[in-house]
Structure 1
């Protein structure tokens, strides 16, 4: 609003100050002029009275004296001359503004009659008898001290002069007010125009617009203020830009961190959190009624402990089957604890790797211990001549030989798997006709299919050629078919389907055997993993638990994928893909 602006306040202050000064000055001037004109009138009347006294003293002819006095007096001045208390003379005037006063009033008025017989004068403003008009009257004694001379005139003359002076003063004051108003408006506009521009720029500055520049119109304090404002704007722009860059960089760093970060204040309010930490809180609160990203009670207690004791704190938490390690440390700002910072590290893979390492050692030990024990036992039987006949010794030697082959196969598979996991697998691509290749692989198992009375069905289109390593893919096919044979009962069925989808060769190996339990399905491609924890296959040939892991590495080396679908007691389907490679 206008009356709240600096322009109005400054303008109103100047006008009010000038008006107050002019009012005081007018009052004093009017008082001064009124007193001045009254004194002037009294002085003029006194001079006339003295002139009358001089004329009376110098002339002996009374009629000539009175005529001379009548001619010398001003038109609006009346004189009453008392030669003694009973003899007097008054001049005649033509104006009606000055009433006639009975001479007896002069003699009877104690305020002015003391002039008779005294050597002193009288100056007085009084009201005329029987009227409301005021007069100025002066009186002096005659030269012989027997009479008195009274000269008076109406006060209206002085008031008229004072009124004219008052009008002049009021006109001058009005002109001064008008000129002051114009000058004040011009001055306030000149002063406040840069301030208004700075106010507008400050408003834009508060909205984040740092490119608005205030023009420097003067070289006074306001100009220096504008220069300082522009310098402040540049500094703010620089610091805000730097802060935004640091904030963006910090946010990018926090978002790119694999570890979660949570920062809380002393009231346990979350100040900073990154996506991994949000996922951690969502997993912690998954089974609770709390908000997904709120701090659970257990974490609040840990944070409170860190803040109160000002010590680092480490805690391992299991949530939704995953292992998390929390490393908490106090947050210091200017030497005092203002909160706490927690680093959340997902240790699930490390724990799984550690478990796999332990399982690997246990599995290798178990797989090697069994054939070694068997070889040792049968060798002792031969050495101790327990086997007496040649046929019995040959049978024991055959068992020792088979177990040595099994150990050799296990060691070779371990070496192959180690080379593959180290990235040293070598793929020799060649253009391979798919149907002849599949037929050749199946031919190796024809006797086993007949022996176990398992039906084999194939659906392989003719004329398809793909680039892949035939030896490695044959190894994959062999492992998958061997698994199917070992898990399929007699009179079962195994189907091999080959198709081409979206420039990929897709091979399905399906059986209607025992199937894989649902809880074991995600882990079948891990080395030494066996869904049958008793490590037996219903009396059939035992596996090492490495075939599927090796197959997975071979397919991934071909940039393909392998997966399994299974339902317990209904069968399993293994599917792997090989992308098409151009000539």
Structure 2
């Protein structure tokens, strides 16, 4: 049995009011006609009733026309501003509205297609990116993740959207990044490990906060640097092994060159022997610097022995060694408190001071002085070396602590006075890199400032901790790095134009 649905017509309030007024007008017209028929005649009453009905119908029609035409005119003017102010009847207005709505629908469809195509392109780029990218809505809703992220965390790209905790189950440190980003706006995790297929992965992650509607969200970018770390370790091991293997043949070459130079041969052969000895000594220093750098880069805390010693005596020995190697150097003014004692490795501190002063001598004229000062700032000891040479170009300043980096050759070979101060055997280009790693090994920092034509200032800072707070137990039977001796003067390991940050 079919059920009949109730059908009702809803009249707007304005139409109902017009209908009420029309019925009231007809009643009034009928009463007027009734009185006229009693006083005059029935035909006259009918004529009056008909005229009043026509007038009432005309008034109601005009009222309804105005009532419904005004919103249509307003709608038509909004959809087609060029038609505003023109007199159109309702049919024309409906036609104009229909035409404009069709154009709007076509534009919306075109925009929808463009948005869909753009979304597809962005998704393709998103999935093709090698970095894992994950978007999270606070507090832990997963908004989106690319294919690299699903592969990294070995999760299926299923319809069930996991939470952030379940997605990062293998990498809990990332949850901390999300919390930091929501509080501070950005975060960076330099390095962390994660197990995948029984292999350790080394990852870095960074995040940034963004708005998602009325709430905050976080986008996380994760890089897998495992292969880079392995290559870096292989490179360091290769350099260390090659340097170690080169040391013996270089020493043999140097020894035979010295024997030839002392033999009874003609002067030309003597000059050849001196050139061979000169270059062998340079190679020997490069090998020594490479071995020192490799040792500093690989767990220095396991072999560095620290002790408390007066810093001024160590710096004075570095100045004495420097003057033996650079006989034409200018005055070196040492300002260090007599009673200042530091807790560090004396050999490494002397090496760092020598490298900084040697660099200053190389880039200053013979008449220019070198200022070496030491101060105690809170719990840190700060060693500053100031030269008055040509200065360092801004483009080179950010790289001077990199190994083998060389700035402009003019600064590397000629001082402000035009006199070359390159050491007798040349520099290895590793001195500033060694200084940086000595600072890091002591929990400190090194930085440089420079002014064109006025010289440079290098600041070597390290904490002056006590024996109990030291990272290395001084009672352990580990050999410390011996201070530079006069027999083997440490070469100007750091050439500002040749050093790398």
Q: TM-score interval w.r.t. the shorter chain? A: 0.3 to 0.5
Greater radius of gyration (CA)? 1
Higher relative contact order (CA closer than 8 Å, sequence separation 6+): 2
